Amino acid sequence: MADQAAPQTALLAGVPGRSRAWMIWLAATAALALVAPHLLASGFGISLLNRMAIAIVFALSFNMLLGQGGMLDFGHAVFFGLGGFATMHLLKLADAGIFLPVPLLPLAGALGGLVSAVPAGWVATRREGTSFAMVTLGIAELAVAFVVMLPQWFGGEEGVSGDRSAEPALFGFDFGAALQIYYVIAAWALLAAVLMWAITRTPLGRLTNAVRDNPLRVDFLGYDPARIRFLCFALAGLFAGVAGGMQALNDEIVTVSNIGSAASGAVLLMTYIGGVGTFWGPVLGAIVVTLLQMALGTLTDAWQLYSGLLFVFMVLWAPGGLSGIILSHAPLLRAGLGHRLLARYLAVVPAALLTLAGLIGLAEMAYRLQAVRSGGAPGRLFGFAVMPTDPVAWVAPTLLLLGGLLALRSLAPRARAAWQEAHTLLARGTPR
């Protein structure tokens, strides 16, 4: 057993193997969170880390529903945003002189998320599957309408803003500095992630998985599936509220857009790209998508289109997301079957790059054409000056795209076959 090989430190003695692996993971993550801002010692780097931490908590709470419970919540940002508003109102009270320790304010977010998720969940969790999703869409619209209707509470277009450093310093920290608020946010992210992970190991967590797989059977085992869905929904709302509270502290402003459909769409994108089948998938997705958004969002207007295409691509060809891809290859690599895949996989790369170049070329041309039509400059693309108004200029990217697609058509199935072959070999237990 691997347990005996591992050194038995006093701290971990007596802890079963699986939990110990998790504790090591946790310690490593905490250590990374501690040193990360010093590795990236720039204001931009720290704000990036903060956004990632917030996204991670939000995506994990979303996956409590989608991945764990099979519930697609189109309005998850409602709880995120209302948690944010709750936190912000307390922050304003604190600004007004009432003693409220700033680092604890995301608790108000948790409460805000929970309180709003209870009535929403009461209505929505009576249904399951696609109907559930549609009902949450209606609830989200309703919530946005209410928030817009009540500018006295939600600040209308401008939203509600506060100042986290306005109140008297707490033990010498006033949380105005980026690094100070980073540690507050990182601590909340770690705490929330650990709690959400712990919940997966409880009876409710396991029953949630069971309801996802087969609600009918759960009903015949003594549990009301609607009640399980409801509890899961309420908890997910609570953690979304925590994420909203973290964001309120970070940005010092919360607006209607934080509860709207774009925010709900963003969390779906992150979670799905990371993969809903594992606990850590959404963490990966939150990190990757936040990075992509930072990198591409400044580089091109087409970021929204690209993320939409990426999402469709994942739904069609990689429904397990990044974590699914990793999980389906890890055992192959461990068994030394990697070399069987490498050649076939590498063959796909040029074709994929060709397709991508064609796609990006067409999309960028189209965006430039819009820019030119509204009186802007077309700019350069891949170092070339582009003339989007000239039909000839569209020929090259179109050819690239078609050529790439044709090549993919013949190469992708071969890569897939190699992968399947490797799995058969693995199942038969004859590596190499």
Partner 1 sequence: MTENTALALEDLHKSFGATAIIRGVSLDIRAGSCHAIIGPNGAGKSTLFHLITGRLKLDRGRIRLAGHDITGLSPHRVFRHGLARSFQVTSLFPRLSVFENLRVAAMWQARCGHAYWRSVAGYPGLHGRVLDMLENLHLTPRRNVPAAALAYAEQRTLEIGLALIGGAHTILLDEPTAGMSRAETERAVALLRRLAGGRTLVLIEHDLSVVFDLADTISVLAEGQVIASGSPQTVRGDAAVRAAYLGTAAEDLA
Partner 2 sequence: MEGLLLVLLNGLVYGLLLFMLSSGLTLIVGMMGVLNFAHASFYMLGAYFAYTISVGLGFWPALIIAPLLVGGLGALVERYGLRAVHRHGKLAELLFTVGLAFVIGEIVPLIWGRPAVPYRVPAVLDFPAFALGGINYQAYRLFMMGVSVAIFAGLYAALARTRLGLVIRAALTHPEMVGMLGHNVPRVFTLVFGAGCALAGLAGVIGGNVFTTSPGMAEALGAIVFAVVIMGGLGSIPGALLASLAIGFIQTASVTLDTPLGVLLGRLGMAVDPHGALAEITIARAAPAVPYLLLVLVLVVHPRGLMGARAD
294 binds partner 1 (CB under 8 A): no
> CB of residue 104 vs partner 1: minimum separation in angstroms?
21
The rounded distance, in Å, linking the Cα atoms of 73 and 59 is 12
Q: What letter represents residue 333's amino acid?
A: L
> CB of residue 26 vs partner 2: minimum separation in angstroms?
31
Return the number of the residue (4 or 374) whose C-beta is nearest partner 2: 374
C-beta of residue 371 within 8 angstroms of C-beta of residue 378: yes
413 binds partner 2 (CB under 8 A): no
Tell me which of partner 1, partner 2, none is bound by residue 388, counting a contact when its beta carbon lies within the kind-specific cut-off of 5 to 8 angstroms. none
Q: Of 179-187, 197-205, 257-265, 313-321, which segment contacts partner 1 by CB under 8 A? A: 197-205
102 binds partner 2 (CB under 8 A): no
Q: What are residue 319's phi and psi, to 5 degrees?
A: -65, -15
The rounded distance, in Å, linking the Cα atoms of 51 and 236 is 19
Residue 169 DSSP code: P
Among 374, 377, 383, 424, binds partner 2 (CB under 8 A): 374
44 binds partner 2 (CB under 8 A): no
Q: What length is written for the chain? A: 432
Annotate 217-251 with b (16+ C-beta within 10 A) or e (fewer): ebeeeebebbebbbbbbbbbbbbbbbbbbbbbbbb
134 binds partner 2 (CB under 8 A): yes
Among 155, 211, 272, 404, binds partner 2 (CB under 8 A): 272
Return the number of the residue (231 or 294) whose C-beta is nearest partner 1: 231
SS3 302: coil
Return the number of the residue (152 or 424) whose C-beta is nearest partner 2: 152
> CB of residue 207 vs partner 1: minimum separation in angstroms?
6
C-beta of residue 371 within 8 angstroms of C-beta of residue 377: yes
C-beta of residue 175 within 8 angstroms of C-beta of residue 103: yes
Return the number of the residue (201 or 416) whose C-beta is nearest partner 1: 201
C-beta of residue 74 within 8 angstroms of C-beta of residue 65: no
Kindly identify the residues of this chain, within the stretch 211-250, that bind partner 1 according to CB under 8 A: 212-214, 216-224, 227-228, 231, 235
Identify how many contiguous H helices and E strands the chain contains and give both numbers. 18, 4
Q: Which residues bind partner 1 (CB under 8 A)?
A: 198-199, 201-207, 209-210, 212-214, 216-224, 227-228, 231, 235
